[in-house]
């Protein structure tokens, strides 16, 4: 095999490998999990699985939704999957945002995109606190 034939073969192999990788990619976000709809759930804040919500700035992810505590009696809830490639976002109260550590997308507390590459907002849900019960609903 001469040099030219070797380079052509190498290039074809790289192209096939690149294509195989891209087949699994979601360039336009179509493969991102859809946000839960028709949501109506109640969390008991006295249960240990919900204990992070007892601290301002704490958060949990449940049923595809991330819930964060923003104040003494205030909460925020949005879909947990980044709209770019589906990575679970993180609640960062100190920065007033949700952050995707996969590619750096950021979202305001109402779910709107503040920095891409995500192009769509996170779905926002309503919250209502009644004693130790936190209701999250569409």
Q: Which two tokens stand for residue 109?
A: 């507390």
pTM of the model: 0.78
Question: Are 39 and 49 part of one and the same domain?
Answer: yes
When pLDDT is cut at 50, 70 and 90, the band that residue 23 belongs to is very low
CATH code for the domain of 64: 2.102.10.10
When pLDDT is cut at 50, 70 and 90, the band that residue 4 belongs to is low
Span 73-131, pLDDT tens digits: 999 999 999 999 999 999 999 999 999 999 999 999 999 999 999 999 999 999 999 99
Q: Is the pLDDT of residue 19 over 60?
A: no
Q: Contact 77/91 with Cβ under 8 angstroms?
A: no
Span 30-50, pLDDT tens digits: 567 789 889 999 999 999 999
Taking CA atoms, 1 is separated from 5, 11, 14, 82, in Å, by 6, 15, 18, 48
Question: Are 64 and 119 part of one and the same domain?
Answer: yes
Question: Are 122 and 68 part of one and the same domain?
Answer: yes
Order of all β-strands in the sheet with 124-130: 40-44, 133-137, 124-130, 75-79, 65-69, 59-62
Q: Which two tokens stand for residue 19?
A: 């294509």
How many Cβ atoms sit within 10 Å of the Cβ of residue 123? 20
* Domain count within the chain: 2
Question: Are 14 and 44 part of one and the same domain?
Answer: no
Task: Give the dihedral of Cα atoms 45, 112, 120, 41; nearest 10 deg.
Answer: 20
Name the residue range of residue 119's domain: 32-137
């Amino acid at each position: 095999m001469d040099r030219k034939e070797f380079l052509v073969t190498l290039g074809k192999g790289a192209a096939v490998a690149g294509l195989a990788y891209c087949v699994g990619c979601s360039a336009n976000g179509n493969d991102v999990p859809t946000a839960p709809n028709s949501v109506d759930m109640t969390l008991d804040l006295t249960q240990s699985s919900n204990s992070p919500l007892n601290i301002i700035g704490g958060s949990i992810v449940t049923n595809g939704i991330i819930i964060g505590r923003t104040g003494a009696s205030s909460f925020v809830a949005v879909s947990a999957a980044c709209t770019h490639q589906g990575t679970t976002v993180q609640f960062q109260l100190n920065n007033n945002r949700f952050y995707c550590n996969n590619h750096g997308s950021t979202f305001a507390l109402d779910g709107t995109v503040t920095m891409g590459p995500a192009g769509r907002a996170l779905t926002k849900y309503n919250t209502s606190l009644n004693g130790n019960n936190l209701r999250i609903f569409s």
